[in-house]
A and B are shown apart, each in its own frame.
Chain A
Amino acid sequence: MSPSYFVKRLALIVYTLFVVSLVVFGITQVLPADAAVMLLGENATPDALAAIRDKLGLDQPVWVQYGHWLWGVLQGDFGVSLRTGQPVAPVLLEALGRSLTLAVLTIALMLVLALPLGIVAALRRGKLADLLVSIVSYVGVSLPEFVTATLIVLVLADWLQLLPATGFVPLTENFWDGLAHLALPVLTVSVILIAHVSRMVRSELVDVLHTDYVRAARLKGLSRRSVLFHHALHNALLPTITIVALDVGYLLGGVIVVEEIFALPGIGRHLIVAIQTRDLPSIQAGALIMAATYSVVNFMADLAYAWIDKRIQYG
């Protein structure tokens, strides 16, 4: 990875985060014709409106409001929740921790299942195993999280009574109980990711297995196993880094839905509550953190990719 690649990619992520902050701030605070009326409703008293304008600095010019907000955000100050009167940042940070646990477990489960599925499908191209994997992955990518969650709850929690359907127990408090409570949410979010990633792994590996260098390796007498593990897989799995990073977008969306369904007090649920109660600072903070997470994950994936694959140049 050349230094200039790194610098350019870094400039791009800074610009991305800047645009994201503009968009989030724009559609929450600037675009509403009168944010104060939007927050309090049409019947609010003039006093209440004046108070909230004062509190949020709504009577200042737009760019001053934005500058003020951004300056606070950069120092880790996301303002005060309109609903609870508490500072937003600590509450959100705690929620973020729970969501990250959910996300990390989901990605782990996805990798454990999606890679073998994709590899088996590619090796048995056109056979029954391939067909099964593609049917399952088709259904998987077509099921919205709330449908998957519904079906999973119906079968695993209601019918078989195997796992608890709602609630959250911190892993630090009771590891196994906590894991049991996370099982259904993790399973739900991972379905769509497993489906998507296994499909990508399959098509990458199918392409690689048809390259000349793989044929050459077979012709010089290496076993299929050795060709697969030492030659083909390395190149076929490289793009998976990027795909997984891009899928974090789905993951975040899934996290929002799943936390709402399973009453998991993470950042997604926090955001939905904030939207339903029109808690402006919490909405802004939640949205910004989620979007920033996605950009930063992709930034790191690009760097990792460029570090592993020396051919990548910034184009």
Chain B
Amino acid sequence: MAELLRRLLRTPQGLLGVLIVGLILVIVVCGPWLAPYGPDTMAPRLRYRAPSAEFLLGTDQYGRDILSRLLYGARSTVILACLATAFGTLAGALIGTTSAFLGGRADEAIMRTIDAILSIPSLLFALLIVNLLGKSSFSAVMAIGIAFTPGMTRVTRSVALAVTKQDYVNAAIARGERGGYIVLREMLPNVVAPIVVEMTIRVAFAVMLFATLSFLGLGAQPPSSEWGLMVAEARRFMHLSFWMILWPSLAVALVAIGFNLLGDGLRDALNPRT
């Protein structure tokens, strides 16, 4: 673990990724305590303020402090994106390892179907599921999770296929272990590393997708301070204060960049060839 961290910090992407994601985690955990104002505290006389000493990032159309809203909103933005990714990964890992384990025709049939489902673009898939479940943060999380499942299935299966050929799996089969035991206890632990890499990069996607859904009015709902929603609301007031739309946009971008860098750094660190 320490060795992994050392390798991770040696690459520029890894180092930057760790720093940015670390900063984001601090904000997610301590955001509400760091915020100078409440996220919904309105000040009708102080609307559309540009950044100043009093309001570091300015105020929005209700005179709410944008910095405080961003700090509070980190939770709904980042945690939900992580949850959605975890959900998609878990489902994908189960289907993928099972398919690889079954092999033969069953594997072929499962994977062809997964490929077919993959041909539905993720945003479109997520839109359909949100349409089914109704507009809310919860359904956005489910939608992203389900939309990620086929992709994660592909990744896990290809890793698991390599693992199936290993002796310890054959040994478990020879011992007469049940299929479920072999998949969960023998195979899954060995496919974890590549999956973690894929997951990290997907968190970046999930943040982008989640913010996009909220932006389209189909994810988090007002008065939430989810960042995509903040951008969507600020659009109408862009001419009065562009700071309102700039900050949450940059926040989304920063999170996505952070997780992308961390994912690439992890890939290099976990890859023994480099």
Contact = CB atoms under 8 A, between A and B. Distances in A.
Interface of A: 12, 15-20, 23-24, 27-28, 31-32, 138-139, 141-147, 150-151, 153-154, 158, 249-250, 252-253, 256-257, 260, 271-272, 275-276, 278, 283, 287, 290-291, 294-295, 298
A291 B118 CA distance: 9
B260 A142 contact: yes
A257 B122 contact: no
A158 B238 contact: yes
Contacts, number: 128
B19 interface: no
Contacts of B127: 256, 271-272, 275, 287
A294 B235 CA distance: 31
Contacts of A17: 116
Contacts of B218: 275
Contacts of B132: 27-28, 31-32
Contacts of A18: 116
Interface string B224-252: 00001001100100110010011001101
A34 to B, nearest CB: 12
B222 to A, nearest CB: 16
Contacts of B115: 12, 16
B101 to A, nearest CB: 20
7 contacts: A142-B256, A146-B215, A146-B231, A151-B246, A249-B121, A272-B127, A291-B121
A144 B123 CA distance: 11
A272 B211 CA distance: 16
A294 B120 contact: yes
Given A28-B131, A158-B238, A257-B216, A298 B119 contact: yes
A27 B129 contact: yes
Contacts of B130: 275
B10 interface: no
Contacts of B242: 154, 158
B137 interface: no
A147 to B, nearest CB: 4
Contact of A144 (B131, B217, B252): B252
Given A257-B123, A257-B215, A158 B239 contact: yes
What are the 8 closest A-B residue pairs judged by CB atoms, nearest first? A253-B123, A19-B116, A142-B256, A144-B208, A16-B116, A142-B257, A295-B119, A147-B249
B122 A249 contact: yes
A24 B249 contact: no
A298 B238 CA distance: 39
A279 B119 CA distance: 23
Interface of B: 112-113, 115-117, 119-124, 127-132, 204, 208-209, 211-212, 215-218, 228, 231-232, 235, 238-239, 242, 245-246, 249-250, 252-253, 256-257, 260-261
Contact of B113 (A19, A151, A271, A276): A19
B121 to A, nearest CB: 4
Contacts of A142: 204, 208, 253, 256-257, 260
A20 B231 contact: no
A28 B131 CA distance: 8
A151 B116 CA distance: 35
B113 A24 contact: no
Contact of A291 (B113, B119, B215, B250): B119
Nearest to A157: B238
A15 B116 contact: yes
B120 A253 contact: no
A294 B128 contact: no
Given A15-B112, A24-B128, A256-B127, 11 more contacts: A19-B116, A27-B128, A139-B257, A144-B253, A150-B245, A252-B121, A252-B123, A260-B216, A287-B124, A287-B128, A291-B124
A275 B131 contact: yes
Nearest to B260: A142
Contacts of B211: 144, 146
A141 B120 CA distance: 20
B212 A145 contact: yes
A195 to B, nearest CB: 11
A290 B260 contact: no
A27 B133 CA distance: 10
A153 B236 CA distance: 13
Contacts of B117: 19-20, 23
A158 B239 CA distance: 8
Contacts of A257: 123, 212, 215-216
Contacts of A154: 238, 242, 245-246
A150 B243 CA distance: 11
Contacts of A144: 208-209, 211-212, 215, 228, 252-253, 256
Contacts of A141: 260
A81 B238 CA distance: 34
B154 to A, nearest CB: 12
A253 B231 contact: no
B249 A253 contact: no
A138 B246 contact: no
A252 B124 CA distance: 8
Contacts of B209: 144
B268 to A, nearest CB: 13
Contacts of B239: 158
